Amino acid sequence: MQPALPPNLSKMGCGTWAWGNRLLWNYDEAMDDELQSVFDHCVTQGVTLFDTGDSYGTGKLNGQSEKLLGRFSAAYQGENKAQICLATKLAPYPWRLTRQSMIAAGRASRQRLGRLDLVQMHWSTANYLPWQERPLLDGLAALCDQGLAQSVGLSNYGPERLQWAHQRLADQGIKVQTLQVQYSLLSTYPVTTLGLKSVCDELGIQLIAYSPLALGLLTGKYADKSDLPKGLRKFALGQILPGVKPLLGCLKAVATARGKTMAQVAINWCICKGTIPIPGAKTLRQAKQNTGALGWQLDNAEVSELDTASAACDKQMVQNIFQTG
């Protein structure tokens, strides 16, 4: 029997490493001390789930995100150390076609991380190469059977494909523990349209919300298009920003009344919805803001008010292209 995930992972995790490639494009070893302080702060505050992916870091920096996370976890000696859960996502690359290829990928990630508490399929291939997925899922099961991973999760799966994958793994004695989807006040589609939360509850799967701050839109730092960062993000967010200002106004009002930041309210909303949000953090200041979402809870009226404002938005975040139905 594979061990269950630590019980204190029911509030918030840390997607500190989910920005892996964006950070690693400009990676400098001088960043390591700051990143270690981010890790240390999160763990002391009870945030013990850390998520990364084997695709975060390419070329000379191949696997660098996993290496850093493994190093920081090994160095940490403070409170909650025993509860740290190191999670990674294995990408179904076109050249990964067999059960053994997934086992090899898991072994490599385990070596970089030092251990592998939660191994996840990064996305489903159902939309373009459905037959590839079967042996890769079998590889995930084998990683648990061989004691190389403690538990299995999925990412970007819709309800139909989730139930199919859940059954395939169950037939091998492996339970799907978690499912990651893009979920926030500006990305409610997985829950309101696909109904994933109810499916996860039925199957006993913990829903993890990545990008809970909608690439920074829900922090309030972008008042208008001139504030947006350059590049593709400016174009993408610029299309959404004008139509979400009423939501941002509602979020700011709730935050002011609570004495919290807009980001903290947005993260807490995800918690109130029964998900584990994994906001990213590159600095200690960002990490402290994120953990300020813990230790309190929005009331039903506030959640309802935010729900209404979210539903009234003209546009929401574009969904991950690998999200299945």
Does some domain include residue 196?
yes
Query: Which amino acid, residue 264?
Result: Q
Q: Which of 56, 157, 183, 189 is catalytic?
A: 56
Q: Residue 285: is its pLDDT beyond 50?
A: yes
29 confidence band (pLDDT: 50, 70, 90)? low
**What kind and span of H or E run contains 154?**
strand 151-155
Average pLDDT over residues 8-36: 61
Q: Is 56 a catalytic residue?
A: yes
Does some domain include residue 61?
yes
Residue 20's pLDDT is 43
CA distance 125 to 134: 10
CA distances to 142, 165, 324 from 130, in Å: 20, 11, 11
30 confidence band (pLDDT: 50, 70, 90)? low
Q: pLDDT tens digits, residue range 95-153?
A: 999 999 999 999 999 999 999 999 999 999 999 999 999 999 999 999 999 999 999 99
Does some domain include residue 263?
no
Residue 110's pLDDT is 98
Query: Which amino acid, residue 77?
Result: Q
Does some domain include residue 234?
no
Q: Residue 1: is its pLDDT beyond 90?
A: no
Residue showing tokens 């890790």: 39
Q: Residue 46: is its pLDDT beyond 70?
A: yes
**Total domains, the chain:** 1
Give the SS3 label for residue 118. Answer: strand
With contact defined as beta carbons under 8 Å apart, do 57 and 21 qualify? yes
Q: What phi and psi, each to the nearest 5 degrees, are found at residue 85?
A: -120, 115
Its domain, for residue 27, covers 8-215+274-297
Does some domain include residue 3?
no
Does some domain include residue 279?
yes
Does some domain include residue 259?
no
CATH number for the domain spanning 108: value is: 3.20.20.100
Q: What phi and psi, each to the nearest 5 degrees, are found at residue 90?
A: -95, 125
With contact defined as beta carbons under 8 Å apart, do 102 and 119 qualify? no
Give the tokens for residue 218: 């829900």
User: pLDDT exceeding 70 applies to what percent of the chain?
Assistant: 90
Residue showing tokens 């584990």: 276
SS3 content of the chain, % helix, strand, coil (to 5): 50, 10, 40
Residue 197 has a CB neighbour count (10 Å cut-off) of: 20
Residue 194 has a CB neighbour count (10 Å cut-off) of: 21
**Selected residue with higher pLDDT from 320 and 121:** 121
* pTM > 0.85: yes or no: yes
Residue 27's pLDDT is 52
Residue showing tokens 């839109």: 217
